[in-house]
Amino acid sequence: MISIECLKVIYQRQFGDLEDFEAYFSPGRVNLIGEHLDYNGGHVLPFAIDLGITAIFVPHSTNVLHVFSEDFNEMFQVNLDLLNHGNIISNWASFVLACLKIMKSRRIPMRGGNIVIQSDLPIASGLSSSAAIECLILYMMAPEVYDRDRLSLAIDAQRAEVEEVGVKCGIMDQYAIAFGKENCAILLNCLQLKHEYVPLDLKDYQLVVMNTNFPRNLIDSKYNERKSECERALQEIQSLEPVSHLAQAHVISVGVIEDDLLYYRAKHVVTEEQRVLAAFDALNLGRIDYLGNLLWQSHQSLDEDYEVAGDALNCLIHYAHKFRGCIGARMTGAGFGGCAIAIVDKSLVNRFCTYVGRKYETDQNRKADFYLVKPVDGVSRIK
Ligand code: GLA
C-alpha cells in the first residue's frame, strides 16, 4: 500500500495546505479459479489483494471535484452538476467520470473537494486496476451509502464500466473489491450475487503473481467476442436443456453443439464451473495439492478451448510447470497478456522467481514481474 505520508506530500504540492483529510484504500484482485464464468452465470473464486490504490480526500462544500493521479501526473477537474467531459486525457479519468454519472442517475449525493490518488497495483495488467478505481471513487463520494450496501457498490461500479466506459465486463472484479475479506477467498455465485468466504490457507505454499508485462491490446474486442460466442453456444444447448446460463448446462448437453469453435468455448465454461466448486472443496479440506492440479487444468482449458492465453502467459506457465516446487499455475483475469498465478513451495519462492524470470526473458525478450500478495479487506476508509 502507498503510504499516507507520501500522499500528504503530493497533496501539499498540488493543492497547498492539508489539515483534516480522509484516507482510503481500494485493492486490486486476483482470481484463484473460475475464468470467464461471471458473465456465464457461474461461480468464481477471487480475492482482494494488498496491492491497490490509496487516496487522500479533502471534501469541500463546492460542486467541483479535483482528482490528481500521481501515476499519470494528471489533474482531472469536473463540475458535479454538469458532469461534462472536461479535460479527460487518459482512461483513469473516464472511469472517475463514469462513476459520477452512475451516482447522478441514482440520485446519490456526491461531494466536491480535492483528491490525490496513487497506486502500487500495476495498471492494465489483469489485476483489476479499473475496478479498483471505480470502487474507490464511488466509495469516497458516499461512504455511508456504500459501506452499508456493498452489493450496490459492486453493481454501480460494474454499471459504470459497462454503460459508461463500454466494456461489457461481468461483476467478478467489482464484487471482489467490494466484498474482499482478510485471509479469505470469496466463492461468488454470479447468478444469485451471493457469496461465502473460505480461508485461503495454502499451508507450506505461497501464492505468487507473475506479470507478463505484455501489452493487452485488443483485449476489449476479444472479450466481447468470447461473450457473444457463449451466447450463441447457449442458444444451441437450449434446444436440449432449459438452462438460462451456459455455466449451468450439463457437460453432456455441450455435445449437441455442432460448431466446433462454440463447442470448445462451452466445454471450457462447463468444466471450469466444476473446477471452481472442486477448488472450493479442496481449500476447505486443506488439499492444496488438489487445488494446484485444478489450476493446471484451468489454464489448459483457457488456452486450448477458450483461447485467451497467448504466448506470453503460456511461456510463464510452461516454466512454472517445469519447476519442481510449483504445484499449480494458471493465467488470472481476462487473459490476452496480463498476469498469471502460481502456487509455490514457500522455501523455494526466490529460486522460482529467478528461474521463471530468466527463462521468460530469454524466450519473450521481455521482463516479467513477480509479486507476493495476500487477501485483504475490500475498499475501505483508513483510520
Ligand atoms: C475480466 C472481467 C471480469 C471477468 C474476467 C474473466 O477481469 O472484468 O468480469 O469476466 O475478465 O474471468
Q: Closest Cα to atom 11, ligand 1: which residue?
A: 334
Q: Is residue 44 very low, low, confident or very high in pLDDT (cuts 50, 70, 90)?
A: very high
Distance 288 CA to ligand 1 centre (A): 24
| CB contact at 8 A, 51 and 28 | yes
Residue whose CB lies within 8 A of the most ligand 1 atoms, among 38, 121, 272, for a mutation test: 38
The answer, yes or no, to whether residue 220 has pLDDT greater than 90, is no
The answer, yes or no, to whether residue 50 has pLDDT greater than 90, is yes
Which pLDDT score is estimated for 134? Answer: 98
Distance 31 CA to ligand 1 centre (A): 9
pLDDT tens column, 122-170: 988 999 999 999 999 999 999 999 999 999 999 999 999 999 988 889 9
Residue whose CB lies within 8 A of the most ligand 1 atoms, among 30, 32, 33, 36, for a mutation test: 36
| Options 3.90.1170.50, 3.30.70.890, 3.40.640.10, 2.160.10.10; CATH of 205-372 | 3.30.70.890
| Options 3.40.1000.10, 3.40.50.300, 3.80.30.20, 3.30.230.10; CATH of 4-199 | 3.30.230.10
What would the grid cell of residue 122 be? 500495476
Which pLDDT score is estimated for 47? Answer: 98
Q: Which atom of ligand 1 is nearest to the CA of 38?
A: 10
Which pLDDT score is estimated for 124? Answer: 86
Q: pTM for the whole thing?
A: 0.97
Which pLDDT score is estimated for 85? Answer: 72
Distance 381 CA to ligand 1 centre (A): 26
The reply to whether 173 belongs to the active site is yes
Strand 112-119 to 64-69 pairing:
parallel
pLDDT tens column, 289-324: 999 999 999 999 999 999 999 999 999 999 999 999
Q: Is residue 218 very low, low, confident or very high in pLDDT (cuts 50, 70, 90)?
A: low
In the chain, where are the structural domains located? 4-199, 205-372
Q: What are phi and psi of 107, to 5 degrees?
A: 55, 35
Which pLDDT score is estimated for 90? Answer: 81
Which position among 38, 50, 173, 305 bears the catalytic label? Answer: 173
Residue whose CB lies within 8 A of the most ligand 1 atoms, among 33, 128, 169, for a mutation test: 169
Average pLDDT over residues 165-183: 95
Which pLDDT score is estimated for 89? Answer: 75
Out of 206-210, 219-223, 263-267, 329-333, pick the least confident: 219-223
Strand 43-44 to 184-189 pairing:
antiparallel
| CB contact at 8 A, 311 and 364 | yes
Average pLDDT over residues 256-283: 97
Distance CA 90, CA 221 (A): 19
Q: Is residue 342 very low, low, confident or very high in pLDDT (cuts 50, 70, 90)?
A: very high
Distance 39 CA to ligand 1 centre (A): 8
pLDDT tens column, 368-377: 999 999 999 9
pLDDT tens column, 76-93: 999 999 987 767 778 899
Q: What is the rounded average pLDDT for all residues in the chain? A: 96
Pocket (CB within 6 angstroms of ligand 1):
31, 35-36, 38-39, 169-170, 172-173, 333-334
64 exposure class (CB count in 10 Å sphere: 0-12, 13-18, 19+): middle
Q: Is residue 229 very low, low, confident or very high in pLDDT (cuts 50, 70, 90)?
A: very high
Distance 251 CA to ligand 1 centre (A): 23
Which pLDDT score is estimated for 163? Answer: 94
- The neighbouring-strand residues paired with 68 are 75, 116
What would the grid cell of residue 35 be? 475464468
SS3 7: helix
Q: Closest Cα to atom 9, ligand 1: which residue?
A: 170
The answer, yes or no, to whether residue 252 has pLDDT greater than 90, is yes
Question: Hey, what long-range contacts does 277-286 have (CB within 8 A, 24 or more apart)?
Answer: 277/43, 279/32, 279/33, 279/34, 279/45, 280/43, 280/45, 280/187, 280/198, 283/185, 283/198, 283/199, 283/200, 283/201, 284/198, 286/201, 286/203
Cα torsion 225, 367, 372, 124 to 10°: value is: -40
Which pLDDT score is estimated for 25? Answer: 98
H-state helical runs in 172-259: 172-179, 219-237
Distance 173 CA to ligand 1 centre (A): 7
Which pLDDT score is estimated for 175? Answer: 99
